[in-house]
Structure 1
Amino acid sequence: MTSNTQVALDKEELRTLIAHILELDVQEVTDDADFVADLEVDSLMALEIVVRLQRQYGVKLEESDLKHVSSLPQVLELVSGKRAAQVAS
């Protein structure tokens, strides 16, 4: 298995995971939905997302990491970047 395969994430799998955490329909977690403004993510939900992403994808995230992301594509980029950094080290 190459490092690219290890780092690749499935956006739809991530969308489903976030929808499950937030107890939303998957269709509500659109690419342009803002987590706070549109999906009403508060700090407790953000912490739950961080914990679940760490477990699911084996990355080390801080709650502050999620403060810099506000949409699904940004979470995908964050987690992919963290995984790539782990593979490279």
Structure 2
Amino acid sequence: MSVTPQDAAATVMPSLDELRGIVAEILDADAADVTDDADFMADLEVDSLMALEVVVVLEKRFGVKFSESELRQVTSLRQAHQLLDRKIPAL
């Protein structure tokens, strides 16, 4: 079942490992390669289309919206997790 924006209040913050699994699936990568601080572009060879796919999936799944300036600052899984933590309301 997918989460819609109106369900965002019920959205639970994913753990770092859960987020790793989501990102690895989108990138069709081994989760072990998606380390906390691996640079998406330099280490994981994520191009702009792959990055856009990750953004769209995360926005839909967690009912959040990311600004361009926020996205420019996210270069690793840890940073993506921190951004989600700021965006998803605490329950």
Structure 2 unaligned runs (5+)? 1-9
Name the structure 1 match of 2:44: 39
| Amino acid across the alignment from 1:39 | L
Counterparts of 1:51 and 1:64, CA distance in 2 = 16
What do you get for the CA RMSD once the two structures are aligned? Answer: 1.9
User: 1:6 deviation in Å?
Assistant: 5.2
Moved over 3 A (4+): 5-8
Quick one: distance in 2 between partners of 1:41 and 1:35? 5
TM-score by length of 1: 0.79
Query: Is 2:82 the partner of 1:77?
Result: yes
Give, in angstroms, the shift of residue 9 of structure 1: 2.4
Q: In structure 2, what is the equivalent of residue 57 of structure 1? A: 62
Q: What TM-score comes out, normalization by structure 2 length?
A: 0.78
Q: How many residues align?
A: 81
Matched, 1:18 2:19: no
The structure with more helix, counted as a fraction of residues: 1
Structure 1 alignment gaps of length 5 or more: none
Q: Residue by residue, what CA displacement relative to the aligned partner does 1:21-65 show, whole Å, maximum 9, x if unpaired?
A: 111000000012110100011111111011000111111124553
